[in-house]
Structures are given as structure tokens and as C-alpha cells.
Amino acid sequence: MPHRIIEEKCVGCGTCAGECPVEAISQKGDIYAIDPEKCVDCGTCKEVCPNDAIVAE
Ligand code: SF4
Ligand code: SF4
């Protein structure tokens, strides 16, 4: 299952988007979101998020 950003925890820093190898993360208003169709589940975004806002489903 793809990774997901918990909206309540995301502070919109953009770190995850810069690290995603398949550009599955994009800005959505003040926060970011992962496109489940593009995510290949590598886990990089989860590792770099400073706020623990990303979970593997
Ligand atoms: S798990 Fe990997 S492929 Fe999926 S959104 Fe995060 S960095 Fe991108
Ligand atoms: S790294 Fe974490 S806090 Fe920063 S934009 Fe991504 S999900 Fe949000």
C-alpha cells in the first residue's frame, strides 16, 4: 500500500517532495499530498519528514 501524509501533522515544509524519487508528492494548499497512483512505497519520505506526518498504510 502507498504511503500517506497525515494532514493534521504536515507543516508544509516540502522536504518529502524534494526527496521522492518518482515525484509522487506535490503541494496541496498549505500542505503536501502523496499521489497513491505514483507512490512506489520506497519509504524515503517517511524517513525525512521532521514531523512524523507520513505513514505506510
Ligand atoms: S514512499 Fe517513496 S515513492 Fe512513495 S511518496 Fe514516499 S518517497 Fe515517494
Ligand atoms: S516532510 Fe512532512 S511536514 Fe514536511 S511537507 Fe512532507 S509530510 Fe509535510
Q: What is the pLDDT of residue 57?
A: 85
Q: Which ligand is nearest to the CA of 30?
A: 2
Q: What is the pLDDT of residue 45?
A: 98
Round the average pLDDT of the chain to a whole number and report it. Answer: 97
Q: Is the pLDDT of residue 27 over 80?
A: yes
Residue 14 — left, alpha, or beta (φ > 0 → left; ψ -120 to 50 → alpha)?
Answer: left
Q: What is the pLDDT of residue 18?
A: 98
What is the pLDDT averaged over residues 27-55?
A: 98
What is the extent of the structural domain holding 19? Answer: 3-56
CA-to-CA separations, 1 to 18, 23, 43, in angstroms, rounded: 21, 17, 11
Q: Which residues line ligand 1 (CB under 6 A)?
A: 2-3, 19-20, 22, 24-25, 34, 39-45
Q: What is the pLDDT of residue 1?
A: 77
CATH number at residue 36: 3.30.70.20
Count of domains in the chain?
1
The 10 Å CB-count burial string (b at 16+, else e) for 4-40 is bbeeeebeeeeebbeebeeebbeeeeebbbbeeeebe
Give 13 Cα–ligand 2 centroid separation in angstroms. Answer: 5
State the Cα–Cα distance between residues 31 and 56, nearest whole angstrom: 18
Atom 7, ligand 1: residue with shortest CA distance: 20
